[in-house]
Amino acid sequence: MSGLFITLEGPEGAGKTTMIEKLAADLSLDGVKVLSTREPGGIDIAEKIRTIILDKKHTMMDSRTEALLYAAARRQHLTEKVLPALQEGKVVLCDRFIDSSLAYQGYARGLGIDEVYTINKFAIQGAMPDATLYFDIDPEIGLKRIAENAGREVNRLDLEKAEFHHKVREGYHLLLQKFPDRIISIDAAAPIDSVYQKVRKIIDGQLIQAGMLNKG
């Protein structure tokens, strides 16, 4: 039995991590086999690459270097953790995947969405998500959330100027048009309970369609 690959995307401070934690806990209670993970990271090699990418001292990192490092981390994480879990019939909830590279490096860094997509197609070999939840939020609100969250890591991307974060959001909006059958937009500025209810409804629909959840 093959599993279900769900990715969560959005700008900094959109609340993806909170949603994944709650989703994983609740789905497990419903008897669904779940693996929650993140990018870049999730396994040892990719976590080491994550440290290099997000280190606040690495402000001189070239944009193409950045894009290639993300793709390398993605490849290792996919083959070592995501694909085996899917083969075991699990639901994989991943905090970021290919769309982050397309929005951040492809659009906001100006490398070109199609160019970065080509790099990543080589890395993932067709392993696209079954569905992607995009958490849409104004960058100022997202960055304010990060500043108010003492427990959240502040990384190199958080230090970018507001213009960069606005371009990231524009990039995601372009991806909504490019992949309308896969990416579902959610208003992440709404109250957290309201956001979660919408997320759970979407996930349940995906699970029922895949025959992995029976909600009578």
Give rounded-to-5 percent helix, strand, coil for the chain.
55, 10, 30
Residue 42 annotated as part of some ligand binding site: no
- Could you give the CA distance from residue 83 to residue 161 in angstroms, rounded to a whole number? 36
Domain boundaries, the chain: 4-209
Q: State the fold for domain 4-209.
A: Rossmann fold (3.40.50)
**How does the average pLDDT of the chain come out, rounded?**
93
- Is 18 annotated in a binding site? The answer is no
CA nearest neighbour of 204 among 53, 62, 2, 4: 4
How confident is the model over 200-215, as pLDDT tens digits? 999 999 999 998 887 6
79 is in an annotated binding site: no
Confirm or deny that 17 is annotated as ligand binding.
yes
Say what percent of the chain tops pLDDT 90. Answer: 81
Provide the pLDDT for residue 143: 79
- Tell me: pLDDT of 18 over 60: yes
Contact 3, 87 (CB under 8 A): yes
Is there a binding annotation on residue 112?
Answer: no
167 labeled part of a ligand binding site: no
Average pLDDT over residues 44-48: 97
Q: What is the pLDDT of residues 77-131, one digit of tens each?
A: 999 999 999 999 999 999 999 999 999 999 999 999 999 999 999 999 999 999 9
| Signed CA dihedral, 19, 186, 82, 89: sign only | positive
DSSP type of residue 90: P
pLDDT in tens, 176-198: 999 999 999 999 999 999 999 99
